[in-house]
Amino acid sequence: MLSRVADSIYWMNRYVERAENIARFVDVNLTLLLDSPIGVSQQWKPLVMTTGDLHLFEERYGEANAENVIRFLTFDRAYSNSIISCLNAARENARSVREIISSEMWQQINAFYHFVNDAANDQSLNFQTFFSEVKLASHLFAGIASATMTHSEGWHFGLMGRWLERADKTSRIVDVKYFILLPSVKDVGTTLDQLQWIALLRSTSAYEMYRKRGVHRITPKSVAEFLVLDREFPRSIRYCIRQTERSLHQITGTLEGTWNTGVERSLGKLRADLDYLTIDDVMESGLHEFLDNLQRRMNEVGLKLSETFFDTQPVTSTAPTPSR
């Protein structure tokens, strides 16, 4: 498979997943507002912090109120991680690999983009409906891909993009909640705190699944445990990293648990660490520090992946000697 094509499939999936995640946490915040007792100030800044682009936001918009944050994260074409920019990028990548992906995939991503583009111009847009449509469209894309694209190399590059992006976003969401959303000490254990942890679970579609698991009570530690270390929940970081590793080994053919390339090694180490961690280890080292380190390691995996497979640095061109 062409390196450029693998790269495009990987990013196409990453961008769709990113758009979905942005829709998720903006949506949850909107819902949260409706539940908040009167007098509690609206918490919009943490949302921008989740993206890691607070500085850029403040420069452009100033105050972090609902309108500004939603516009920035949803329809700002000048911001490269807004939903509309993500879909534009996803579609550009899809366009450049149209002949590789199924036409159904292309049609879905094209329709998805046009849907968001039309919504951007809709003055009377209902944001809650819009965000659930975005989530749905992303799931539809994943489903169509799964059902219509051959599950070979290209497919696995796509999966890696999706899983890595999801792991990254889950880590950011947990991080922000723990350090920013957590109000003053006197609020810990109150209704407000409960609501926010529920919101956090909801933003990762984890609420119902969490309740069904072992301990049903909602405590910060067990929520963090669920979202970071759960073995079976498809948005937990550990699960995502495991799946990334699986796809990587499908591509390289290297036996799982062993490695030949730099990316296999750093991903394998990360996966093994997560396999043998307990939430108490995590809390002891500090959740924020742990997540920070995790994000760094996931970035490193992304870089190594790119070095190993996508690198389009020029190979020295050697002009042939004419035959005859």
Partner 1 sequence: MKLANYDPGHFYDELFDAPGSPRSEVAPLIERINSLSIEEIQHRQQAAQIALFKMGVTFNVYSDSQGTEKIFPFDILPRTIAASEWQGLEKGLKQRILALNHFLADVYGDQKIVQDGVIPADVVYSSKGFLKACKDLKPPKGIWSHISGMDLVRDRDGQWYVLEDNLRCPSGVSYVLEGRRIMKSTLPLVFNRMQIQPVEEYPSHLLETLLNLAPDYIDDPTVVLLTPGIYNSAYFEHSYLAQQMGVELVEGRDLVVSDGYLQMRTTKGLKRVDVIYRRIDDEFVDPLVFRPDSLLGIPGLTEVYRSGRLGLANALGTGVADDKVIYAYVPEMIRYYLGEDAILSNVPTYLCWEPSQLDHVLANLDQLVVKAANESGGYGMLIGTQSTQAEREAFAAKIKAAPRNYIAQPTLSLSRVPALIGDEFEGCHVDLRPYILFGEDIYVTPGGLTRVALKKGSLVVNSSQGGGYKDTWVVS
Site residues for partner 1 per CB under 8 A: 1-6, 77, 88, 91-92, 95-96, 98-100, 103, 106-107, 110-111, 153, 157, 251, 309-310, 312, 314-315, 317-324
Q: Which is nearer to partner 1, 32 or 263 (CB)?
A: 263
Amino acid identity of residue 10, one-letter, is Y
Return all residues near 314 (Cβ < 8 A) that are at least 6 apart: none
> Exposed, middle or buried, 33 (CB in 10 Å: 0-12/13-18/19+)?
middle
Which among 252, 107, 250, 245 is positioned nearest to 167, based on CA atoms? 245
Q: How far is the CB of 106 from partner 1 (least distance, A)?
A: 6
Q: How far is the CB of 136 from partner 1 (least distance, A)?
A: 18
Residue ranges of alpha helices (H) inside 177-215 are: 191-203, 207-211
Q: How far is the CB of 101 from partner 1 (least distance, A)?
A: 9
Alpha-carbon distance values, 86 to 10, 77, 89, 94, 102 (Å): 13, 9, 5, 12, 20
Q: Which is nearer to partner 1, 115 or 127 (CB)?
A: 115
Q: How far is the CB of 146 from partner 1 (least distance, A)?
A: 20
Which among 159, 235, 154 is positioned nearest to 202, based on CA atoms? 235
Q: Which is nearer to partner 1, 61 or 115 (CB)?
A: 115
Q: Are 164 and 271 in contact (CB under 8 A)?
A: no
Q: Which is nearer to partner 1, 214 or 322 (CB)?
A: 322
Return all residues near 267 (Cβ < 8 A) that are at least 6 apart: 241, 244, 245, 248, 301, 304
* Number of Cβ within a 10 Å radius of residue 7: 21
> Exposed, middle or buried, 289 (CB in 10 Å: 0-12/13-18/19+)?
exposed
Q: Which is nearer to partner 1, 96 or 295 (CB)?
A: 96
Q: Are 105 and 94 in contact (CB under 8 A)?
A: yes
Q: How far is the CB of 26 from partner 1 (least distance, A)?
A: 22
Q: How far is the CB of 318 from partner 1 (least distance, A)?
A: 6
Q: Which is nearer to partner 1, 107 or 128 (CB)?
A: 107
Q: How far is the CB of 46 from partner 1 (least distance, A)?
A: 31
Q: Which is nearer to partner 1, 77 or 269 (CB)?
A: 77
Q: How far is the CB of 59 from partner 1 (least distance, A)?
A: 21
Q: Are 110 and 118 in contact (CB under 8 A)?
A: no
C-alpha 118 chain-centroid distance: 24
Q: How far is the CB of 99 from partner 1 (least distance, A)?
A: 4
Q: Which is nearer to partner 1, 217 or 324 (CB)?
A: 324
Q: Are 51 and 75 in contact (CB under 8 A)?
A: no
Q: Which is nearer to partner 1, 48 or 251 (CB)?
A: 251
